[in-house]
Amino acid sequence: MRKWMIAASLLALALSAPAQAQDRALHKAVAADYRANLAALFDHFHQNPELSGREVNTSARMAQELRALGYEVTTGVGGTGVVAILRNGPGPTVMLRADMDGLPLEERSGVPNPSHVRQTDMARVEQPVMHACGHDVHITAMVGTARQLAARRSRWHGTLILIVQPAEETVSGARAMLADGLYTRFPKPDYAVAFHVMAQLEAGRIDIPETNVASSSDMVTIQVRGVGTHGAFPHLGVDPVLVASQIVVSLQSMVGRTIGPLQPAVISVGSIHGGVKSNIIPDRVDLALTVRADTPEVRRQLLDGIDRVARGTAIAMGVPETLLPIVTRSATETTPATINDPATARRVRAAVAGAMGADRVVETPRQGMGAEDFAYFVTPESGVKGVYFNVGGTPREQLATAPGHHSPLFRISPEASVTAGVEAMVAAAEALLQRR
């Protein structure tokens, strides 16, 4: 028995040696590609961000880059989405995804290549635009990943699909691509993989959770109605400002007293608008909320609770039946939680650790309840097994002061982030693209 174990160990070492040599080759190839191509490409994308659903130039550039690498490219999927296919014989089908939209923020990050772009959004309002969530890293790494996988076809078998997705920031682009035939017009994947650069994770580190990666997200508006009157005679009207204020407080009480204390749940009121003058009680106040949960059950509790709290608070404060609040759940800014397939996540983690070194793969607690519409690609109904992971973007010595995502101060280290993203995506794809 002991002799058999020793022989097996020696065989494993023999088989691993070429792989390790090839992994070192991958690291060198990605580093060289960054210097030759990806650094300039990242600068281009960072300086030229585009808003959700308006990513016309970004889409065109990505299509150009992927065609040049020999991929079959289709544009205009779900709006500005891009689908690129590389076929390499029989085997699994793996889809890699990168999102490409920026945010309506004026950049104040202090980087040497800032965005000065302004663009008209889907509502025809001109906005400043910034890559304040790292999507420029994602699409740059997608090109690097495409180049390496095309060059390393001897190491994998099957069909590789790369998608460049619009409108992630409005959590609507994934559904738009699916509605436009992503899983019917093109080969349906067995696996789907994506990553997000994280400012709160050390640059170059990879975090691959086994289960929950991101929360569900729902945008909800509440139109609080009242009866306007003079500010000096409040008894002659019904003050919607007071009603709205009580609703905001009661929503937080609902989270604290109706949701289990070990269940993640968030209701944040991000916008309150009402009134035009200090001495006029208005007849309407508008609230806009974001609602986050990790399970379908808590999600339903929160959404149903908002209806109950808004109506009940208004009734308790004397709002007439004909003027009770109108609660609207967005049909577009909504997504379920993103949950990794545990077995596939373990498989990808082992591959990334083998390719990049075990010290590069870390386990970190979630720091918030961010959302991701990647969830739509890997719903239980779809049968597609998904893995979504995080790539660190900030040097260790700067972690304590790193601005968060969606901040005009947001910044990451491009080289460490892009190259780590490429290496991890290549390792993940090659691990999954093996003959059954």
Cα separation, 48 vs 54, whole angstroms? 12
By the 8 A CB rule, do 403 and 411 touch?
A: yes
DSSP string of 89-152, one letter each residue: SSS-EEEEEEE---BS----S--SS----EEE-TTS-EEE-B--SSHHHHHHHHHHHHHHHHHT
In angstroms, the Cα distances linking 390 to 30, 59, 133, 207, 428 are 19, 23, 13, 5, 13
Identify the bridge partners of residue 161 per DSSP, sorted by sequence position. Answer: 85, 95
By the 8 A CB rule, do 325 and 218 touch?
A: no
Cα separation, 61 vs 67, whole angstroms? 10
Q: Which amino acid is at 81?
A: G
| Annotated catalytic residue 101 | yes
Cα separation, 208 vs 214, whole angstroms? 12
By the 8 A CB rule, do 199 and 394 touch?
A: yes
- Marked catalytic residue, from 33, 101, 283, 373: 101
- Marked catalytic residue, from 99, 168, 423, 430: 168
By the 8 A CB rule, do 174 and 372 touch?
A: no
Residue in 125, 186, 201, 123 with CA at minimum distance from that of residue 390: 201
| Annotated catalytic residue 202 | no
In angstroms, the Cα distances linking 71 to 44, 63, 340, 409 are 22, 9, 28, 36
Cα separation, 289 vs 292, whole angstroms? 10
Residues forming the active site: 101, 168
